[in-house]
Chains A and B, each alone.
Chain A
């Protein structure tokens, strides 16, 4: 096809591409109607260059990948041997061939972490996490890093994401181990509320390991999950009834739940396995509480009535002791006491004045209420320096429950 030159203003055919258009005098807008041959040639060359570049790039990538994998392999071996510095070099070499390869970067981050270069480790991990936020391993490493640097809130958050994150292989075991690590972290950092939440979650997937179960039971006691602790220790005792630690643990859980008779039973069994002072003290305390408790089933009405009066007496004594811890003679007039406390003391005095009346359910109930009322008013006055009456404290706690 012959070349044709066209003025794009008036669209007349003209003789030469750089000439002025003889019709409209336009100059700058004159262009050649490029022949299909030229255009085809250009596209042909483009396709050829495309193919050559593609081949070149493919070979380059293959070589790059081979080199990267070689260095990565060496780095993994060095890291396993504990040669962190050289492992880091090799990981960097691997990354120089494929800087977006996440495994290489993760390996580098691990090596840097082992080498205690935390700032750079974190940068790499945060980078990787931004590309894969649900990765279990990345969140786990970040959690470890944050824990090492004392950023506990971040660490807990990363641990939780790691627990629910994506793992390859033995997923359940990993999640369990992570929960246990998180529990350890929360325990050592004294975050009991968060610890309790984790323990509740862990109770659902309790591991078979008895050592771990013992530890979790103890942590449940610490975080006041007494019901769950009792069940856990019960499970342990079903497998081994002479498990001293489990007997003590269950005893403590039941004690805290106000089941003093069950607690005493567990302590007594523990004593049979191993007799020690602490267990004996616990048994004695249980006995004193049981003897004071007017609500205990199976005792006569008369005994209940007697106990209710003893309860008032001991509550009154404790109140006066807390009000005047030095033990000096009580000199102040009653009117100086808070009005409610003064009224409660007066009620107690009235209940104890004269001969004891007839033992009825109503009088037992009334005495118990008087003692409770007095204790409620007095207990805020008592502080740590005032030695209290432990059986009274426990019985009152049980009554309030």
Chain B
């Protein structure tokens, strides 16, 4: 016992030479703990959904199939009532909830929302509603991470990072694809490629997947058969699937969000029964097409194994699309991840079958088209290109299909984006009154670099042999507060306007700078560096020499705070001095 206490003590407190684990290491350790907890909760979540599914839909006697519509209706309304009266924080999409936590509430996610998501999504998905468990799992992971962050009294900066770490763990455990989970969190939740937190996200995702596999086995979601991709001319077919998938995903986003918007305008009490109505409709469809009920992983598995005819695939895809849009619009708890994959798989397989009728030379296996379809629809709805490609890669464990997937997904995103500017999560966020950042927004507003602000002149650079009067004249002709003095080739120092004026007042007007003035060292900057980094330097130095990376002694220009202001449009004042070409300084 004492030994354990000692170990814990070493892990958490400092010894004589400081803490055993420094802050980044402790953060990584916490990431593993988050991964393990999230994995455990997601395993329970998965089992609960399965058990409820067995008790309800699977246990119906062959003669009692007419009861099928009742279960999704009962599950939907029970889940919604729970959200309405007990856990309102379990409402909405997990991605947006987590993003809100990251960007608006310092990573705070109430643990009650984890319990709420668990219960409501189990009720909804377990009774056959066509939603997926991944999005709730993501929110549960983020909620667990947030709780642990609070327990460990993390700082605000780290609290903001902790929710995405949990989100990756949740989605990784739910979908059994650690890489795709990491990428999805980067693209959808963080909306940025943050190298600082990548290690933690990977660790939590991997530990969650390990826990999930520990308890549920190494079973992958789909048994992907051996894939063959035929002639390269078939890439045209894949491109066509990408275009159709992109178009369909844009329609799905538009109309499901439109329906959601109309329903949100209804009075809250009236909305209570809509999940029941949606569930009833889903159940009626499910009576005739039971494949559309629930998350539908087994149906995708069947499509991969060529179980369905192409026309049946298209019908199933369409029915799932409609029932998912209806449930999503009506607020039935659950995620869009699994239904999106389902629709994509059916679309890919169906279109491949249809194309093979008119183009019998097609030799790729159906599984290849199904996988491409999965990636296409996912990419179109969520606008997460990297995730969509790597997810297919992880699912198929085959490199063969990557090229068609990349082509088709890119086309799908382009088409979908052309028709609908925002992803489904963004549209839902706007509808909920949230303005959350997306990776696409960030891409559209590129960061400014030093080269966008620097003056490509030597107007602020003088030799240390000139007189104080000349230096003053130079500085007065500019809007700068300091000059860069070249003391030797490739070495600059700075001198301030005030010091020059003081020297003039002291009667040293005609003395040269190197004899009279005390000059301060300055650091270089480079044209490709972000302005943010240069600004940090400008807090210390009034002017910076911008030099070439291949020859750091060669001056390309100068940068001052005024230049930065101009680059950001804060001042519209043009530099007073006439621009003169930069000359290499003499030794």
> A-side interface residues toward B, CB under 8 Å?
1, 4, 6, 8, 11, 17-18, 27-36, 38-40, 42-43, 46, 49-50, 52-54, 56-57, 60, 63-64, 67, 92, 95-96, 99-100, 119-120, 123-124, 126-127, 130
Contacts and interface: CB of A to CB of B under 8 A. Distances in A.
A158 to B, nearest CB: 14
Summarize B's interface: helix, strand, loop or mixed: helix
Contacts of A50: 40
A8 B23 contact: yes
B23 A29 contact: yes
Interface stretch (B47-55, B84-92, B494-502): B47-55
Contacts of A95: 298
Contacts of A119: 306, 366
Given A31-B26, A34-B12, A53 B40 contact: yes
B307 interface: yes
Contacts of A126: 225-226
A38 B155 CA distance: 17
B486 to A, nearest CB: 34
Contacts of B306: 119-120, 123
Given A6-B19, A11-B14, A49-B40, A100 B219 contact: yes
22 contacts: A4-B13, A8-B23, A18-B156, A27-B155, A28-B158, A29-B155, A31-B155, A32-B152, A36-B8, A36-B11, A38-B12, A38-B151, A39-B12, A40-B4, A43-B8, A50-B40, A53-B40, A57-B216, A99-B301, A119-B366, A120-B307, A124-B225
Contacts of A53: 40, 43-44, 215
Give the 6 A-B residue pairs with the shortest CB-CB distance, closest first.
Answer: A36-B8, A123-B305, A57-B215, A32-B153, A119-B306, A123-B225
B298 A96 contact: yes
Interface of B: 4-5, 8-9, 11-14, 18-19, 22-23, 26, 33, 36-37, 40-41, 43-44, 47, 50-51, 54, 58, 148, 151-158, 215-219, 223, 225-226, 298, 301-302, 304-307, 366-367
Nearest to A7: B23
B298 A33 contact: no
A35 to B, nearest CB: 6
Contacts of A67: 54
Nearest to A130: B226
Contacts of B33: 42, 46
Contacts of A30: 155
Contacts of A33: 12-14, 19
B151 A35 contact: no
A136 B273 CA distance: 57
A31 B157 CA distance: 11
A329 B151 CA distance: 118
A54 B215 contact: yes
A38 B152 contact: yes
Contacts of B12: 33-36, 38-39
A60 B153 contact: no
B13 A36 contact: yes
A377 B4 CA distance: 100
A29 B306 CA distance: 55
Contacts of A42: 33, 148, 151
A32 B133 CA distance: 35
Contacts of B40: 46, 49-50, 53
Contacts of B50: 60, 64
Contacts of A17: 153, 155
Contacts of B13: 1, 4, 33, 35-36
Contacts of A100: 217-219, 223
A16 to B, nearest CB: 10
A57 B48 CA distance: 10
A1 B6 CA distance: 12
Contacts of B366: 119
Contacts of B226: 126-127, 130
Contacts of A60: 47, 50-51
B63 to A, nearest CB: 15
B156 A6 contact: no
Nearest to A17: B153
Given A35-B12, A120-B305, A126-B225, 7 more contacts: A1-B9, A6-B19, A56-B47, A60-B51, A92-B302, A119-B306, A127-B223
Contacts of A127: 223, 225-226, 305
A42 B150 CA distance: 12
B295 to A, nearest CB: 12
B237 to A, nearest CB: 19
Contacts of B54: 63, 67
Nearest to B307: A120
Given A100-B219, A126-B226, A36 B9 contact: yes
B37 A46 contact: yes
A40 B225 CA distance: 46
B145 to A, nearest CB: 13
Contact of A34 (B5, B152, B156): B152
A36 B152 CA distance: 11
Contacts of B23: 8, 29, 31
A99 B217 CA distance: 11
A218 B476 CA distance: 114
Contacts of B152: 32, 34, 38
Contacts of B305: 120, 123-124, 127
A28 B223 contact: no
Nearest to B224: A127
A99 B8 contact: no
Nearest to B13: A33
A148 to B, nearest CB: 16
Contact of B304 (A34, A36, A57, A123): A123
A8 to B, nearest CB: 5
Nearest to A9: B23
A99 B302 CA distance: 11
A18 to B, nearest CB: 6
Contacts of B8: 36, 39-40, 43
A319 B216 CA distance: 84
Nearest to B148: A42
A361 B199 CA distance: 98
B154 A31 contact: yes
A57 B211 CA distance: 12
Nearest to A97: B54
Contacts of A35: 12-13
Contacts of A54: 215
